[in-house]
Amino acid sequence: MSNKKILLVLLFLFFTSSFVQANPFMASSAQEYGKNKSQKNKIVEPVKYPSIVQGIIQKITPVQKEIQSRLSFSMREFKKTNSKAVFFVLILTAFVFGMIHAAGPGHGKTVLFSYFLSNKTLFVKGAVISAAVAFMHALSSIAVVGIISFIVKKSYLLSFENISNRIQMISYTIIILIGFFIFFKSLISIFKSGQKMSSIDNKEIKAIPLVLAVGLIPCPGALIILLFSLSLNVLPLGILMVLVMAAGMSVTVTFAGMSGVFLEYKITSINIKNNKAYAVLSLSLHMAGALFLILFAFFMLTSYL
């Protein structure tokens, strides 16, 4: 895979995943979308993709709408009938809903992709980390709804927006710090490699802070299911649906994370005989991934300031 292609993939992931997840209806100062210049620019200067992709997108939206509508219908049906068949349909629909929902912008995909690009990670471990992010993302929504129910006791939608905005600001700050840590760690390793090859520190950086930072951001899709279940007085069913949805989301998020692991593996497995050149390539890639992580998190953070 050529460097140009890799760069294109990175840019593509960056731009397609960086829309702020703000509900336009909710009056929260942090989401005055039209007043944010950088966001305005995103709209007026669209990146054009092949018409075949555009065709897919235009057609898939009604499908998504249908899945969401079936989910709400099945939840109502199950409440009425308690039927096992309906329950089975409900589980399946929530899983598919999760898979498709996580494919949208957000949900930690870009961060995971960049992290895995900047860190050598085993495939299995990468999958576990990605799935953990997806589940935390959903659990965070359950926790925020719980906080609103027992402490805030005000409008769920508005409170969720406010709490979510604050959590996102904290999360992206942590991600920026993680990015800087990876960047400088790789930079120091490059300097060290100039002196002694064996001292190159290519060890994996612990993923737990990243999982926490990314996973803490509550999922707006999960919120909608939880609020719907609250309105039907079937909150336990709503929580179960959110967990099933998280399983579906983990498939998509893992796929995004695995793309990063795979790219890192492909690039660093290029056959370079010169050990030093290999080390520089590997560390440069890690630095690029870290920079990408910083840029992405900074871009997202400024949207909330």
Stretch that binds another protein, among 47-55, 118-126, 168-176, 289-297 (CB under 8 A): 47-55
The two three-digit tokens of residue 49, written as one number? 């993709």
The answer to whether 237 contacts another protein (rule: CB under 8 A) is: no
Q: Which of 124, 102, 131 is nearest to 17 (CA)?
A: 102
The answer to whether 250 contacts another protein (rule: CB under 8 A) is: no
The answer to whether 86 contacts another protein (rule: CB under 8 A) is: no
Query: Where does residue 245 fall: left (phi above 0), alpha (psi -120 to 50 degrees), or beta otherwise?
Result: alpha
Stretch that binds another protein, among 123-131, 134-142, 251-259, 285-293 (CB under 8 A): 251-259
Residues in contact with 159: Cβ distance below 8 Å, sequence separation at least 6, in sequence order: 148, 152
Residues in contact with 89: Cβ distance below 8 Å, sequence separation at least 6, in sequence order: 70, 74
The answer to whether 254 contacts another protein (rule: CB under 8 A) is: no
The answer to whether 57 contacts another protein (rule: CB under 8 A) is: yes
Give least dist CB 54 to another protein, A.
5
The answer to whether 23 contacts another protein (rule: CB under 8 A) is: yes
Stretch that binds another protein, among 45-53, 116-124, 206-214, 292-300 (CB under 8 A): 45-53
Asked whether the beta carbons of 19 and 276 are under 8 A apart, the reply is no
DSSP 8-state class, residue 29: G
The answer to whether 64 contacts another protein (rule: CB under 8 A) is: yes
Out of 128, 169, 190, 230, name the contact with another protein by CB under 8 A: 230
Which runs of consecutive H residues, i.e. helices, occur in the chain?
3-16, 37-44, 51-81, 84-102, 109-118, 123-147, 156-195, 208-215, 220-231, 235-268, 275-304
Out of 4, 37, 41, 48, name the contact with another protein by CB under 8 A: 48
Instruction: Find the Cα–Cα–Cα–Cα dihedral 273, 277, 279, 284, rounded to 10°.
Output: -140
Out of 10, 90, 96, 100, name the contact with another protein by CB under 8 A: 100
> What Å distances lie between residue 122 and 85, 129, 175, 255, 294, CA to CA?
40, 10, 21, 14, 23
Out of 79, 89, 104, 152, name the contact with another protein by CB under 8 A: 104
The answer to whether 101 contacts another protein (rule: CB under 8 A) is: yes
Out of 103, 280, 281, 295, name the contact with another protein by CB under 8 A: 103
For the chain, give the number of residues: 305
CA gap 50, 84 in Å, rounded: 44
The answer to whether 38 contacts another protein (rule: CB under 8 A) is: no
The answer to whether 225 contacts another protein (rule: CB under 8 A) is: yes
Q: Based on CB atoms, which residue is closest to another protein, 231 or 275?
A: 231
CA gap 88, 74 in Å, rounded: 10
The answer to whether 1 contacts another protein (rule: CB under 8 A) is: yes
Out of 90, 95, 96, 109, name the contact with another protein by CB under 8 A: 109
Out of 47, 151, 208, 305, name the contact with another protein by CB under 8 A: 47
Provide the binding-site residues for another protein, judged by CB under 8 A: 1, 9, 12-13, 15-17, 19-28, 31-35, 39, 42-43, 46-49, 53-54, 56-58, 60-61, 64-65, 68-69, 71-73, 100-105, 109, 155-158, 220-221, 223-225, 227-228, 230-232, 252, 255-256, 259, 266
